[in-house]
Structure 1
Amino acid sequence: MVSTTYGSESAGWRGPVVDPGYLTDFARAHEQSGFDRVLIAHSASSPEGFAAAAHVLYNTERLGVLIAQRPGFIQPTLTARKLATLDNLTGAGRVAIHHITGGSDTDQRRDGDFHGKEARYRRTAEFIEVLRRTLTSGEPFDYEGEFYRFEGAFSSVKPHGEVPIFFGGQSDDAIRVGGRWADVYALWGEPLAQTRERIELIRAEAARHGRDIAFSLSVRPIVADTEEAAWDKAAAIRRAFEENLAGGNGGAAGWRIGRGENTAVGAKRLKDEADEKLIHDERLWFGVTQLTDGGGNSTALVGTPQQVADALLKYYDLGIRTFLIRGFDPLQDVRDWGEELVPLLRAGAAARERRLAPAGRG
């Protein structure tokens, strides 16, 4: 995940809201460290994502972007043309989209959306359906649904590569929508047993529609040369966040107030798991999650590069194929991960794929 300004819950935020030089350095660090793609996050008060994504794409050579957006504010036909245009301008296969239906009514209303969550999920389903048709249809089409109506919808620009459709949400409504329409279903960093359960549930929903579906996991590695040093680092991160919340740096406090109450099912799951205990599965740490409303990517894997890679690979064994990782010292963490963590994770995944390969296949 890249951002237009430096900051995190523990480090606080500093610099201009949009710092082009920092965004360039952050994107290039991901590319140099072996990342495939970076998330461009979204909120009702943050810088606009397509513009930030274009900056990332134009300042790197191969790095892809995953543009988060909330259905309901830009027409799906126009969103499709924006995605396809970026794909044509910057190189096939570098653009993907992540649909966030919205877990905070407060934040939705900042952009003028007063629909309830159930209605928002129905709207998301229609949005993705129209988006996919616009990206792929060779001729104009009509569409009439509860939220969208089009006559002769068509895009003259088509992506040269696929535009993967990511989706997140943990409610029953979310699973129905994501299982039917998503290419990649995004999960928070929960314990292995709960993650296995979610994967099985979502796969079953996708199978009802004759579909396969891939999975992404979001987690925050905290890495050091020794396990003891890593846990000390985690404790320091928590202390810094507590100080920020108490007023030592207004950035973190502003982050909590700015998003409003998070009513998402996924957030409640994380809060409940944090209340149960702070460490699950040996090194999945909920120390920062406990201080938040449960929203966002807050759970952490703590240990040496090899220990954290091994922990991530346990999720790989469950079927996760995309890891969305970000740090608490964002830019430096990405640079550090490129030295050991990313290579170890890639090597472990490749070894597993070789073992799974049918006999005689190269």
Structure 2
Amino acid sequence: MPIEFIGYVSAREQTEILDPTGPSVDAAYIAATALLHERAGFDRALIAFHSTSPESLQIAQHAASVTSRLGLLVAHRPGFTAPTLAARQFATLDNLTGGRVAMHVITGGNDRELQADGDNLTKAERYARTAEYLQIIRREWEGGAPFDHDGRFYRIRGAQSSVLPRHRGSIPIYFGGASEEALAVAGQYADGYALWGEPLRGAEELVNRVRAAARAHGRTLRFSISFRPIIADTEGQAWERAAEIEAQLRARQAEEGDATGIALDRAGQRPTDGTLPTNEGSRRLQAIAAKGARHDECLWTGVAQATGGRWNSTSLVGTPDQVAESLLRYYRLGIETFLIRGFDPLSDAILYGRELIPRVRALVEKEDGCRRRAG
């Protein structure tokens, strides 16, 4: 089956070990990062969303304007835009980019952060709203006659769009969330399910749960997993780099002190009662990190430990061959998409394009060839 690599394009350079540089919307950095990912062989790039961040669709539009092949996976939170308008916004960008857009639906992870945008619903209510939201979006993307909708969160009369997705019928919808509510919505409405990097056993268990949720609706999903690969010429050098990253992160947190609230909210900040993620995916990472920093052959949770499992924060550490073999093991679980980004965004993306992506593609091609001959 075809594999896919997703990178990461942000509005400016910033990671757990790099302070923000440049303006909050750095057009030159966005363009350079998008072009770099395209030339490195990535299939898509994720554009993130946060209550304090620049608007994701507009960042995606700028990234698309300087590239010709790179797909854009645009993070989107249901509830802040009317679903009919969101459907037209994504369909418009999809047409402008020649069909390169996908939606990554994020229902929410931290209640206080969501409240900064005026969202005070409970978790269960948010997922119920997301289900209704995606139902409306998919209906508008289908085209046809005007339609009405009477639901718990939306009451719509005569909805119809003159702009439809480039590939008629839909835009790919990726979905994140590991709670039972999330899995139920993903199984019914998503095309792809995204999980954060976990040990193989936990990843397999979650994939099987999502498959069961989708099977209940007669559907199948694509699976994506996220990692922060740390690769070097030797295994020892790779683990030395991992130790350096953790030391830099801990030092930055010590300088930061006991800042609270979400106003600071930068990558790598020390988790507090107000910023500690409460979503099920982060709780899974917190539990994994609590068992130790190293899992399986080369999974490392040092950054997840320091940040409370915030965001994509687990790493695969080793030589390019070792990390590629680890990704192949996840592929064998049925995971076809790998979202990879580094702690030094530009240099790591170049490194992945040269040393990691070709190796994984070659391993998968060989694996599929063996399966075909055996079958």
TM range (shorter): over 0.9
Corresponding residue for 1:339? 354
| Deviations, residues 177-236 of structure 1 (Å, cap 9, x unaligned) | 111111000001000001111111110111011111111001110011111000000000
1:145 to 136, 143, 151: 151
Question: SS of the counterpart of 2:228?
Answer: strand
* Counterpart check, 1:8 vs 2:23: no
Gap runs ≥5 in structure 1: none
RMSD over aligned Cα atoms: 1.8
Amino acid across the alignment from 1:55: H
Aligned length in residues = 359
Indicate which of 74, 81, 84 corresponds to 1:77.
Answer: 84
Deviating 4+ runs (over 6 angstroms): none
Partner-residue secondary structure (3-state), 1:319: coil
Q: Deviations over 1:261-284 (max 9, x none)?
A: 311111111111101011010200
Contact 1:69 1:100 in 2 (8 A): yes
Alignment of 1:51 with 2:58, yes or no, is: yes
Pick closer, same or farther for the CA change 1:305–1:160 going to 2, 3 Å.
Answer: same
1:232 & 1:118 partners in 2: Cα distance? Answer: 43
Contact kept? 1:2, 1:38, Cα under 8 Å: yes
Distance 1:258 1:58 in 2: 40
Distance 1:328 1:258, change over 3 A: farther
Task: Give the residue type in structure 1 aligned to 2:352.
Answer: W
Counterparts of residues 63-212 of structure 1 (less than 5 Å): 63-92=70-99, 94-161=100-167, 162-212=170-220
- 1:253 and 1:308 map into 2 onto residues whose CA distance is 24
Instruction: Give yes or no for contact 2:276–2:310 (8 Å, CA) kept in 1.
Output: no
2:255 alignment partner, SS class: coil
* Mean Cα deviation higher: 214-223 or 250-259: 250-259
Question: Structure 1 vs Structure 2: percent identity of aligned residues?
Answer: 49
Would the aligned equivalents of 1:41 and 1:68 in 2 still touch at CA under 8 Å?
A: yes
In structure 1, distance between residues paired with 2:50 and 2:270: 11
The aligned counterpart of 2:327 is 312
Q: Does 1:301 align with 2:310?
A: no
Distance 1:277 1:87 in 2: 43
Asked if 2 retains the 8 angstrom alpha-carbon contact of 1:65 and 1:95, the reply is yes
CA contact (8 A) 1:11 1:240 kept: no
Q: Distance in 2 between matches of 1:100 and 1:248?
A: 28
On the 8 A contact 1:247/1:253 being kept in 2, the answer is no
Contact 1:106–1:261 (8 Å) recurs in 2: no
- Provide TM-score, normalisation by structure 2: 0.92
Q: Is 1:31 equivalent to 2:38 in the alignment?
A: yes
Distance change >3 Å, CA 349–CA 259, structure 1 → 2 = farther
